[in-house]
Amino acid sequence: MFESVLIANRGEIAVRVIRTLRRLGIAAIAVYSDADADAPHVRAADAAVRLGPAPAAESYLSAERLLEAAAATGAEAVHPGYGFLSENAAFARAVTAAGLTFVGPPAEAIETMGDKIRAKRTVGAAGVPVVPDATAPPGADDAALAAAARDLGLPVLLKPSAGGGGKGMRLVRDPAALEEEIAAARRAALAAFGDGTLLAERWIDRPRHIEIQVLADGHGTVRHLGERECSLQRRHQKVIEEAPSPLLDEATRAAMGEAACEAARSCGYLGAGTVEFIVPGDDPATHYFMEMNTRLQVEHPVTELVCGVDLVEWQLRIAAGEPLALPPGPLRPRGHAVEARVYAESPRLDFLPSAGTVRLLREPTGEGVRVDSGLAPGAVVSTAYDPMLAKVVAHGPDRATALRRLRAALARTAVLGLDTNTGFLRRLLAHPDVAAGALDTGLVDREAGALLPAGVPEEVYAAAALLRRAALEPPPRPGRWTSPFDVPSGWRLGGEAAWMVSELRVPGHDPVTVRSRPGEVRIGESEPVAARLLGKPGDTVRLEYAGTTHVFDHAAAEDGHWLGRAGDAWHVHEHDPIAAAGGGPAAGAGTLTAPMPGTVTLVKAAVGDEVLAGQSLLVVEAMKMEHVVAAPHDGTVASIEVTQGATVAMDQPLAVVTPHEEER
């Protein structure tokens, strides 16, 4: 076994790998960019090496710097985690050429399975069923792929041949949109994987996404550890995973397991890998190979919990040349496990990426609950890296118990200082179809609107107004008299206490006027309600409102307060209507602003262009997600405020489109 291992990754996966290394008595060597200098994975490691600036290309994607770090610290092996260079055959070869052990499969297996087209041909030759697809000849233009896709028959799913994780995938049903969608998918593939090759797969309506975990050693043994159901996805990105699947019977499970082992054998696989299948919703006995992920998966904890194995440990043991020593015969799942991915995103703003400083962090504990997290109080979450922050996992003797424990764990999770999808996940897990196991890959996108809260609860505004009022009160002066004129109580001689007026706003919602005085709060034009803070506000705020006590997680911000409850969080800040209506280009109705912090990857219009409402003008990318900025109305492009490649802040002006009515 190794004495020291360098982890060529960051965040929660690096923390997860370090946990196993510590248990095995192996020194853990972390790497970090400037943005991660004080990150939890750096603190947890035995040694840490700076790679360079925050951009991944200059840090986590630099094979040269990673190998220099390994040499400088005397590492014997490199664990790639997932993402970044984990499925890069050239990196695996470079690690081996440097005299180190790559904790993963051979470079040849990565190459074979990393190319979706080649992978399908390889496993198909081994007798594994595959989804019908279409490709264009090398060097052919988008029109050639569009023609091949039309011959295959729409709808089709466009997929980057070189990538995974759902990035760059686009479902196309409208023939008229095919060329534009191909161009967008190719841009996304180039940005994420450096390869714009695409394939078009026949779309299977209401499919289920089921994957098989495999382990293969260097002594000829290939075993599968059962399946994971990953059908709950948003825009082809998994959000909830579970093991075992509520769909499969024993015969189908055995058939899919053997097909996964054949796929692994077909490419000479070693280590831990995942073979992904698509299963028609109306024919659960049928399965088609989609792809093989030649690395540890994000969702590996659910397999660990139901199988009682440490997959990272087996990665290390296999890489060290040890034989796979698992009990003979099929592994029977022990209970049920469900995982939820906590992302930095704003569900109420169409799931746009979020960024900010973690001002308060609460992570759940309890029976059957596991958290894999890369977060810490004070950590800065930027759009430079993948938006996944943590994974909350629950295990129980049956599926209903695991779901209930996970919902409760998410309700106890608080990340204040940026938006997350935690409350959305909790409501998704309570959806009747999810509870019944009636899943498919389109369920989340279909139901997303119904899973958003209707608005901001009144008690949130009441708590924020009373916190603002409490902050203005002078500190107590023992033994000294305090003038009532020095306290913002609204007290006056011979009259009723005056209201203190607060204009409050939660991003994504209209401003609300909240009036407060001792013992009462009035929200908007509604009737006054009895309200008061109970105890001294701190990390927790207790509010008595209309006879009910509400408890919030709380963190102060420069411009207001963050309040959280049951997985949801609200940034309530003071609203200045004069500043909001201020001059400059951002004031006009025709001004297009950045929907999120990110990079302008495409400018499709020029000053003077005549455009139609809904026409795409710019593309902003953040956390490997593209957002199209479209014209709000018919008009003329009056100005373009940015150039391609520019970094922009949220709400930064991008362009101005003058409506035709204003020109006349």
Lowest mean pLDDT among 131-140, 263-272, 421-430: 131-140
pLDDT of the residue at 550: 98
Instruction: Find out whether 434 and 424 touch, Cβ atoms under 8 Å.
Output: no
Name the least confident of 2-11, 571-580, 641-650. Answer: 571-580
Q: Is residue 663's pLDDT more than 50?
A: no
Report percent pLDDT > 70 for the chain: 93
| Average model confidence (pLDDT) across the chain | 91
Question: pLDDT, tens digit, for every residue of 49-92?
Answer: 999 998 888 999 999 999 999 999 999 999 999 999 999 999 99
Residue whose token pair is 């890069």: 88
pLDDT for 585 beyond 50? no
In the prediction, which pLDDT does 475 show? 63
Question: 474 exposed, middle or buried (CB, 10 Å; 0-12, 13-18, 19+)?
Answer: exposed
> Residue 109 above 80 pLDDT?
yes
What's the average model confidence in pLDDT over 163-168?
73
Reported as a single tens digit per residue, the pLDDT across 626-654 is 788 999 999 999 999 999 988 887 778 99
User: Rounded CA gap, 402 and 411, in Å?
Assistant: 14
pLDDT band of residue 593 (cuts 50, 70, 90) is confident
**Three-class secondary structure of residue 607 per DSSP:** coil
Q: What was the pLDDT predicted at 287?
A: 94
Look at residue 583 in the predicted model and tell me its pLDDT.
43
3-state secondary structure of 377: coil
> What is the per-residue pLDDT for 482?
58
Instruction: With a cut of 90, say whether residue 618 has pLDDT above it.
Output: yes
Per DSSP, the residues of 522-541 read EETTSPPEEEEEES--SSEE
Best CA proximity match to 152, nearest among 178, 128, 126, 127: 178
What percentage of the chain exceeds 90 in pLDDT?
A: 76
**In what helix (H) or strand (E) does residue 72 lie, and over which residues does it extend?**
helix 63-73
Q: Tell me, what's the pLDDT at 476? A: 61
Output the pLDDT for position 501: 93
Mapped onto helix, strand or coil, the DSSP state of residue 125 is helix
What b/e string do you get for 516-529 counting C-beta neighbours within 10 Å, with b at 16 or more? bbeebbbbeeeeeb
Q: What is the pLDDT of residue 150?
A: 93
- Using the predicted structure, report yes or no on whether residue 317 has a pLDDT greater than 80: yes
Can you list the domains of the chain with their CATH numbers? 4-103 (3.40.50.20), 132-202 (3.30.1490.20), 208-451 (3.30.470.20), 458-472+499-578 (3.30.700.30), 583-663 (2.40.50.100)
pLDDT at residue 586 in the model: 41
For 512-566, write each residue's pLDDT tens digit: 999 999 999 999 999 999 999 999 999 999 999 999 999 999 999 988 999 999 9
Please report, for residues 229, 302, 459, 463, 569, the alpha-carbon distance to residue 544 in angstroms, rounded to integers and kept in the order given: 43, 40, 9, 9, 19
Report the pLDDT averaged over residues 39-50: 97
For residue 588, pLDDT over 60 is answered with no
Instruction: List pLDDT tens digits, range 141-164.
Output: 899 999 999 999 999 999 998 877
664: pLDDT confidence band, cut at 50, 70 and 90? very low
For residue 327, pLDDT beyond 60: yes
Is 177's pLDDT higher than 60?
yes
Query: In the structure, what pLDDT confidence band is assigned to residue 661 with cuts at 50, 70 and 90?
Result: low
